[in-house]
Amino acid sequence: MKKDFLKVTDFTTEEILDTFKIALDMKADRKKYSEALKGETLALIFEKPSLRTRTTFDVGIQQLGGYSVYLSPAEINLGKRESVYDVAKNLERMVQGIMIRTFAHEIVEDMSKYAKIPIINGLTDYTHPCQAMADFLTLHEVKGEFKGLKLTYVGDGNNVSHSLMLAGARLGVDVTIATPRGYEPNLFAFAEATEAAKQTGAKIEVVHDPKEGVNGADAVYTDVWASMGQEDEAAERRRIFMPYQVNDDLMAAAKEGAIFMHCLPAHRGDEVTDSVIDADYSVVFREAENRLHAQKAVMYQLMHA
């Protein structure tokens, strides 16, 4: 039966942990899996620009012995030049998997519905599951376990916050979202995470005081205040979110030994200061590297016969 990765909760807790084991094995010995997807091809559909997603999927499939085909908006222009249905029905006859980075989450859901091959969500406005996989892989590498951990996300209740809640719920990690009023996470995402958390005992909460949010946090996470497509709101958002900047003072309110995380790209001086992102406790570049290993493991789980 075809399996996709559109949200973190598409994988069970056991499947996520298995994926992490594979990712760490791949990280330790790249050559061990060098023919795991030999001859397989992954289509990379990009409606949004990317550094990490493009590089890690492109390099990742090659390190597994496969190939990639990059498809920019100029080639497809989803829903305009070609319908999602037509793209899905074409590509399922040509490649063995599709990674798509786009705007509306409905696009990846439709692609999944129409295509008979695995679909991987490289980012939508609703969720960013591959990033969360890299984040929690990194968290486990640094802290050695998930049980008893608390991760606090400070900033806009966006797609990254949604995926962190869903991943925390699956893995039993408490997740607190500290955000200004009116910028809370999507209610459906919060409800889905809360429901999933019942199985693991994770606590999922939203607060509006950043210092309250980071109290007891083992990891403090932030993201840009204005995501792609929100550039016209940047000045207003900067005014609203400045009290939520992750700086030395806010990190001092977290648990001793807390790490700093960011999905990148970072707007230094806005959501995070140089003194935090460049500190010894910052793991942002390890997270970026782990995108490669986590995504290779996801591709292996979905595309390996």
How large is the average pLDDT for residues 291-305?
96
pLDDT band at 84 (very low <50, low <70, confident <90, very high): very high
180, with CB counted inside 10 A (0-12, 13-18, 19+), is middle
Q: Which residues pair with 71 in a beta bridge?
A: 45
Of 170, 291, 293, 301, which residue is the catalytic one?
291
pLDDT in tens, 109-140: 999 999 999 999 999 999 999 999 999 999 99
Ranges of each domain in the chain: 8-128+291-303, 132-287
Gap between the terminal Cα atoms of the chain: 11
pLDDT tens readout for residues 64-73: 999 999 999 8
Is-catalytic flag, 263? yes
Tell me if domain 8-128+291-303 and domain 132-287 are identical in fold.
yes
Strands (E), 116-162: 119-123, 150-154
CATH fold of the domain at 8-128+291-303 = Rossmann fold (3.40.50)
* Residue of 63, 96, 125, 128 with catalytic role: 128
Q: Is 208 part of the annotated catalytic residue set?
A: no
Q: Which CATH architecture has domain 132-287?
A: 3-Layer(aba) Sandwich (3.40)
| Consecutive H or E run containing 69 | strand 67-71
Query: Looking at 52, 58, 63, 101, which residue is catalytic?
Result: 101
pLDDT class of 76 with cuts at 50, 70, 90:
confident
User: Annotated catalytic residue: which of 4, 218, 245, 263?
Assistant: 263
Write the pLDDT tens digit of every residue in 264-279.
Answer: 999 999 999 999 999 9
Q: What is the pLDDT of residue 177?
A: 98
Please state the φ and ψ torsions of residue 106, each to the nearest 5 degrees: -60, -25
Q: Which amino acid is at 146?
A: F
**Catalytic annotation on 162?**
no
Would residue 199 show up in a list of annotated catalytic residues for this protein?
A: no
Q: Write down the catalytic residue from 223, 245, 262, 295.
A: 223
Assess whether 245 carries a catalytic annotation.
Answer: no
Report pLDDT digits (tens) over 6-60. 999 999 999 999 999 999 999 999 999 999 999 999 999 999 889 999 999 999 9
Catalytic residue among 131, 245, 295, 301: 131
Is the confidence at residue 166, as pLDDT, over 90? yes
**pLDDT reading at 207 higher than 80:** yes
Mean pLDDT for the chain overall: 96
Is 291 known to be catalytic?
yes
Q: Quick one: pLDDT band at residue 77, thresholds 50, 70, 90?
A: confident
pTM of the model: 0.96
Give the pLDDT confidence score for residue 153 in this predicted structure: 99
Q: With CA atoms as reference, report the closest residue to 178 among 145, 222, 132, 210.
A: 210
